[in-house]
Amino acid sequence: MKGLFLRIVASLALLLWAIDMVFPWQQIMRSEENHYSAIKQRKTLVVGTINNPVSYFIDANGQAGLEFELSKAFANHLGVELEIKTLDNNDALFEALNKNEIDIAAANLLYQPKKAEQFQIGPSYYSASWQLVYRKGQTRPTSLEQLQGDLVIAGGSELEHILQEKKETAPKLTWSVNKKQTQEELLLQVAEGKIAYTIANSIDVSAAKQIKPSVAVAFDVTDEAAVHWYLPNSSYSELQAALLDFMNNAVESGLMARIEEKYLNHFSQFDYVDMRSYTNAIETILPKYAPLFEKYQGDLDWRLLAAVAYQESHWDKDATSPTGVRGMMMLTKATAERMKITDRTDPEQSIKAGAGYLHWLISQVPDSIPQEDRIWYALAGYNMGLGHMLDARRLTKNLGGNPDNWSDVKKNLPLLAEKRYYSNLKYGYARGYEAFQYVENIRRYMNSIVNYHRVQETQNNNEQAEHISENKE
Q: Which residues are catalytic?
A: 312
Can you tell me the distance from the alpha carbon of 378 to that of 19, in angstroms, rounded to the nearest whole number?
A: 66
Cα→Cα distances 181→94, 177, 187, 188, 367, Å:
18, 10, 10, 11, 45
Can you tell me the distance from the alpha carbon of 105 to that of 94, in angstroms, rounded to the nearest whole number?
A: 7
Count Cα neighbours of 390 within 13 Å in the Cβ-side half-sphere.
11
Rg (CA), the chain: 27
Asked if 341 contacts 352 with a C-beta cutoff of 8 angstroms, the reply is yes
Asked if 309 contacts 328 with a C-beta cutoff of 8 angstroms, the reply is yes
Residue 377's φ and ψ, nearest 5 degrees, are -65, -40
Residues 6+ apart with CB under 8 A from 196: 134, 135, 138, 147, 148, 149, 150, 151, 190
Strand partners, 130: 201
- Mutual angle of helices 302-313 and 432-472, in 10-degree steps: 120
Q: What are the E-state strand segments in 26-101?
A: 44-49, 57-59, 62-64, 81-86
Residue 269's φ and ψ, nearest 5 degrees, are -95, 15
Can you tell me the distance from the alpha carbon of 150 to that of 152, in angstroms, rounded to the nearest whole number?
A: 6
